[in-house]
């Protein structure tokens, strides 16, 4: 299996443009906090021949494929098996205290979506796993089998923003009393049966529930809340961060973290802002950038992307 056949990097040229000022120097270090199959990483290593990469991923399959793809870059590449809130420890493990650039490409990867046996895609019948790291943790099937109705409703509401969360939770609990729900196809059938016909016409009934289960299984939002501040702290002055989110819950966390980092800490009413109160970061884009029509047409997975970026302008 060749990683290039499975993955088209999202907003690649824009990511290069935004991070280039931080990487175009000898010895610069990029941390790709969501390495995936290495599409972004490969492009950066090609375009910045004096740069070094530290690639992080919790998915051992992704690390293996990316490692094969990036093998030709030799000791310029260090790969670390970790969740991205471990970014500081990962950098320290390869002897780094500060880095020049950090890239986050959030959400589920092409590998996880395209390999049916991972259970991420509601359009394909597979075991209900959904773990990004298949070496540890609770599967989606275990969540479906063990969570009380109220807890299922809560995660569907919170992580899927699903209006029928209560109805879906009730149908799932009723169904699991008759037979174990172990495959994605079984869950999709239950959700379709629970969805009024008028609602089905507005979109697939399983979309938001599968998103919510994936987020719950992988603790994605709590991990992200820790990861963005940790990544910001790791950047040297002049260092840059780019974050690509694919749903509103992720983007809110990123937006809030960058707003905090770019805000003055001066007490209200001071006539002059002291240097120690000046913002540590400045935003590089206004709001959240979306993919162009051409990008969405060429790469449909870019359709929901929201890109935010910032540069460190002051030491802590």
Detail the residues annotated as belonging to a binding site.
Answer: 38-40, 57, 84, 105, 112
Distance of CA 55 to the CA centre of its chain: 14
**Rounded-to-integer distance, Cα 217 and Cα 282, Å:** 34
**Rounded-to-integer distance, Cα 179 and Cα 84, Å:** 37
Q: Which residues are annotated as a binding site for S-adenosyl-L-methionine?
A: 38-40, 57, 84, 105, 112
**Rounded-to-integer distance, Cα 117 and Cα 132, Å:** 12
CA atoms within 13 A on the CB side of 123: 5
Strands 235-245 and 306-312 turn out to be antiparallel
User: Alpha helices, DSSP H only, in the chain?
Assistant: 12-23, 39-47, 60-70, 87-93, 110-114, 140-146, 149-160, 165-176, 184-194, 197-200, 207-218, 220-234, 248-261, 293-298
Q: CB within 8 A of 240, min separation 6: which ones?
A: 18, 19, 21, 22, 100, 101, 102, 284, 309, 310, 311, 312
**Rounded-to-integer distance, Cα 141 and Cα 124, Å:** 15
**Rounded-to-integer distance, Cα 59 and Cα 132, Å:** 5
């Amino acid at each position: 299996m060749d990683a290039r056949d499975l993955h088209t990097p999202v907003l690649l040229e824009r990511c290069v443009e935004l991070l280039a000022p931080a990487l175009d120097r000898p010895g610069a270090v990029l941390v790709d906090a969501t390495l995936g199959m290495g599409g972004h990483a490969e492009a950066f290593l090609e375009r910045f021949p004096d740069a070094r990469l530290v690639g992080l991923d919790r998915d051992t399959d992704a690390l293996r494929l990316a490692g094969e793809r990036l093998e030709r870059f030799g000791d310029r590449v260090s790969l670390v098996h970790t969740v991205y809130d471990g970014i500081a420890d990962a950098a320290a493990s390869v002897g780094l205290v500060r880095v020049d650039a950090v890239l986050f490409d959030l959400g589920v990867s092409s590998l996880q979506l395209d390999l049916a046996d991972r259970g991420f895609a509601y359009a394909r019948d597979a075991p209900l796993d959904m773990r990004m790291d298949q070496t540890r943790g609770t599967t989606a099937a275990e969540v479906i089998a063990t969570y009380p109705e109220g807890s299922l409703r809560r995660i569907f509401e919170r992580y899927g923003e699903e209006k029928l969360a209560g109805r879906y939770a009730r149908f799932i609990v009723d169904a699991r009393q008759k037979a174990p729900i172990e495959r994605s196809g079984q869950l999709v059938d239950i959700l379709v049966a629970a969805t009024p016909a008028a609602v089905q016409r507005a979109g697939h009934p399983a979309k938001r529930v599968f998103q919510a289960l994936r987020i719950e299984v992988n603790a994605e939002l709590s991990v992200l809340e820790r990861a963005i501040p940790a990544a910001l702290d790791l950047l040297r002055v002049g260092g840059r961060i780019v974050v690509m989110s694919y749903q509103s819950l992720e983007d809110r966390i990123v937006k809030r973290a960058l707003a905090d980092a770019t805000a003055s800490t001066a007490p209200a009413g001071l006539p002059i802002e002291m240097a120690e109160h000046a913002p540590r970061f400045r935003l590089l884009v206004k709001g959240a950038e979306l993919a162009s029509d051409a990008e969405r047409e060429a790469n449909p997975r870019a359709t929901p992307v929201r890109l935010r970026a910032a540069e460190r302008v002051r030491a802590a």
